[in-house]
Structure 1
């Protein structure tokens, strides 16, 4: 687009556009000319990027070989393309120069040059000896940058001026004196349209502005045609594409309803909420072409249901817990209300230093969203497991039922009941236990990551839990486990020391206490242990804390505290590294910060995948107990915290 002269109307803003030039007549079949294009820097990085993106000479030089006459057309076309790029950044007096050089070579004994707009260019190109690669250079003279002049808002139907409110002017953002950059102008119109719709005007539209070039003042006057339309509420909501999912459930789960003010942000939140149910491959929403007779805006949600079954694998390894491998089968939308049934079977204890042999973990999970009401989900689990740790051997059957209730964007509360029947052998003594629990947990998370496997770079995660418990075999005894976990993340980009997400410090703290019972009054699996990736790396799982006399095997304790400092550095696009120090202790009393403090340190590498980093860490104990391991290796998916 070229605007020249006073009050010449420019009807479009396009950063990259075709000049419309037609290529010259084709050269004889098979005659092609290789060339290399170089674009000189203009001094404006954004402009340079636009010129590089718009140039056919540059983008097609390796993939679309052409003959001399077609190449001449390509060169002349680039004049218009570069000129359009200049104007899109406000350089309306700018000019492009394209020079074609035939370098000196054995086939071409004399170097020669020609300008790309020379009338004899096609024949000059046709005379190029075979085997000679032409050098094409593009340079620009920007000239002065034009600025925005007068800005007017007119009704799209031509009925007078449109007056904006303060909030609408703020959303628009464009002011007289701003550089006349096309992308900025178009963005301002889009922002104003978004604001008008968010205020409840579903038919609002801000059309592409008409621009009036004023060369004498080097300004660009703008006239935006604006349609505001009536304010409206959401009308009837239609659901299309549901096959196995009950419409009544979708309407209950939806966060918008007829009668609410039309707001695209709220409608988009509702769409994302339905997409997160996990039973749809796509969820879309669109407005009706016009308002309903009652003045409301009907909406149509479109669904494409996903496959009902999936099979997955789970693999993990650490030197203390050994290998863990198994498979998972998932049935989605079990009863038509987005329920999810997951069956998992795992083999555990494959070669771990804290293990005495192979174990298993087999469980069935049923997840039911929005039950018994909105903003809360129910989960049920039945599990059978066998764990052969050196500290104890356990065979157990568990049943759990719980509710997770969302309080707001960051806070969740989890509560429920659980029961466990188990048999535990500890150093030749076997005891049976029957336990019931009533766990209560509150969690806070403002890290704003899309998945727990995605590394956090800012914010906090806090978990506060209390688990009243009762052992009901022989005589009933009561105790409670209290635990607090917290982690936070600091991106060095906040201090200008790195790019966002590349260099991050992560901190973790854990405090736990058993109230109401001493160590030997509670089952071994309910005691607190230190060591391993969840607490203190460098020490084997259950390797920190009071130990049986003359052995390296932990008794378990009734208090725990641990902390971690970790630095995570991303390298290139797919790799990373980490260094960390962990410290903690397990005590025999109910008060934390007692016992022998153990410290471990180490580092690792990361390979980043679309679902999260694959992690490999090696840690060593800095104050190893006499019978402790010298090092530990951990492999898993996602960061440790």
Structure 2
């Protein structure tokens, strides 16, 4: 009986053993946080004071130790050993990494140059996971160069005694492939011709999975699309038939509402309703209202996809905006014709604005009264970034020009030019991003609204200053804007953890009262920032300091990378 009670007590203690904190010892290559995730724990970061320290049931330790060893082996440490111990009421995983497997030789037999895809160089640590991924990337690379069938023989010969790996890639492509017959199946009043015009390939074109990827993006850009399937799995020799199936949302009426906050505009509220397939063929019409502490508007808009990647759109809006020193109310009517030819986007527009400047405290720089402007506008954009929300490589260029001639419909003869570009370069410890923009206005006759000028400062400009607070001011201390601007920014973004990144940045701004800024007078800011990763983009906090006067600074909050 006593033995039974003793056994019961021991068993009960084992089943209900108190969870203990966890530590790692001996790990040099991988951080504690990485190893915590391997065993299923996610401890709080140093500033997450509201979260309690995660603990582990001692009964699970024996089963988790092999996980750590297998993780090391999957990253080239074939001789790694792990064991566990309990010291001072703490579970300690003792890790002996030992020497990793090093790459001794790489052989690549390939019709195309696959060296940039191979993730290894001689004497690098051999990583089996990276090796498996490289095989997928090589197949994808060939598929983007017209080879739909590739025989890939990739092997890694590992000498455990010498800790060496010999890697061989042998790629034997078939004949170059072409897109075959294209079948399109649509529902909900969508014409197959409209979908066909959104594809970036046609029958007889050279085969490329990149063209299929672009086609997905182009079709999903139409808000009425619920699902797209582009099936290119049926290979008939060098011919690749394609089956395209498209379905629209069964409930085309979409209501949206949202709220947010930014350091530039304060509280933001948005509400709208749209029909995403009115009268069929993905035509959209809707109404939208937005309010912030700086800008408010209500607009009716429409968008109509046309053949050959053209789109026709337009809107009518009533807008109110508050500036330092004056307010502005306007009625805007706009018609756009757009065309997408990847990676280029073109837009030609005609817009009419009836603008009233009110509540001015400066009749010289901000005269009260009404103006009307009737302008054509043209723009071009090329976007080769790997991500719109959080780019890590690639570039984006944009050019926009508008102007008018004084007439019964326009109170000014002027032109306005704006050029911008950004470039993202991955480095070993993060991403370096660059941005440059230039804008100029030339007034030849009449008057233009003061809001047409360039205002600097804010999260999308020079971050040592608050929104529109940089540059020349009137006697009341209100910014009057500039007729030309050049701005540049450099950011270094590097990870702190899986969810957080740090940023170091510098901005420089030049302003002028002619079409060329005064390059003898730079405004320079420097500062740090932090990013928290979310599904809708990183939540960002930046603090900018004036390089020449650190007592001047500004704090900026926004969602998404700035460029």
Counterpart in the other structure of 2:304:
368
Q: Structure 2 CA distance, aligned partners of 1:585 and 1:136?
A: 59
The aligned residue for residue 199 of structure 2 is 254
The answer as to whether partners of 2:102 and 2:124 remain within 8 angstroms in 1 is no
Q: Distance in 2 between matches of 1:484 and 1:169?
A: 40
C-alpha deviation, 1:432, in angstroms: 2.9
Residue 610 of structure 1: which of 535, 540, 543 is its match? 535
Q: How far apart, CA to CA, are the structure 2 residues paired with 1:178 and 1:590?
A: 53
Q: 1:267 aligns with which of 209, 212, 215?
A: 212
Cα 1:169–1:133 change in 2 (3 A) is closer
Does residue 361 of structure 2 align to residue 416 of structure 1?
Answer: no
Structure 1: stretches of 5+ with no match in the other structure? 1-26, 55-60, 106-131, 152-163, 353-358
For the residue of structure 2 that corresponds to 1:609, the secondary structure is coil
TM-score, normalised with respect to structure 1: 0.60
Q: Is the 8 A contact 2:486 2:517 kept in 1?
A: no
Displacement, 1:436? 0.5
Runs of 5+ unmatched residues, structure 2: 1-6, 40-54
Q: How many residues align?
A: 521
1:593 lines up with 2:523 in the alignment: no
Tell me what 1:637 maps to. Answer: 559
Q: Name the SS for the 1:345 alignment partner.
A: strand
What's the TM-score, normalizing by structure 2? 0.67
Q: CA 1:228–1:378 in 2, change beyond 3 Å: closer, same or farther?
A: same
Q: Which segment drifts farther, 411-420 or 609-618?
A: 609-618
Cα contact 2:229–2:244 (8 A) shared by 1? yes
Aligned to 2:472: 545
1:345 Cα deviation (Å)? 1.1
Please show how residues 130-529 of structure 1 align to structure 2 within 5 Å.
166-167=111-112, 202=148, 233-240=178-185, 242-287=187-232, 291=236, 296-303=239-246, 305-306=248-249, 308=252, 309-318=254-263, 323-348=267-292, 350=293, 360-369=296-305, 371=306, 373-374=308-309, 376-406=310-340, 409=343, 411-425=344-358, 426=360, 430-446=368-384, 448-451=385-388, 453-454=389-390, 456=391, 461-473=396-408, 478-488=412-422, 494=427, 499-501=429-431, 504=432, 506-517=434-445, 521-525=446-450, 527-529=452-454
Q: Check whether the contact 2:405–2:412 (CA below 8 A) recurs between aligned residues.
A: yes
Q: Distance in 1 between matches of 2:24 and 2:396?
A: 49
Give the superposed CA RMSD. Answer: 5.9
Deviation of residue 512 (structure 1)? 1.4
Deviation at 1:144, TM superposition (A): 9.9
Deviation at 1:83, TM superposition (A): 10
Distance, in Å, in 1 between the alignment partners of 2:184 and 2:83 is 60
| In structure 1, distance between residues paired with 2:528 and 2:160 | 63
Distance 1:184 1:362 in 2: 51
Separation (CA, whole Å) in 2 of partners of 1:616 and 1:217:
49
**Aligned-residue offset at 1:253:** 0.9
CA distance in 2, matches of 1:566, 1:167: 35
Larger relative strand fraction = 2
Cα distance in 1 between the residues matched to 2:101 and 2:403? 75
Give the greater-gyration-radius structure (CA). 1
Tell me the distance in 2 between the aligned counterparts of 1:568 and 1:217. Answer: 40
Q: Deviations 1:81-110 (Å, cap 9, x if unpaired)?
A: 98999799797xx8x999999x999xxxxx
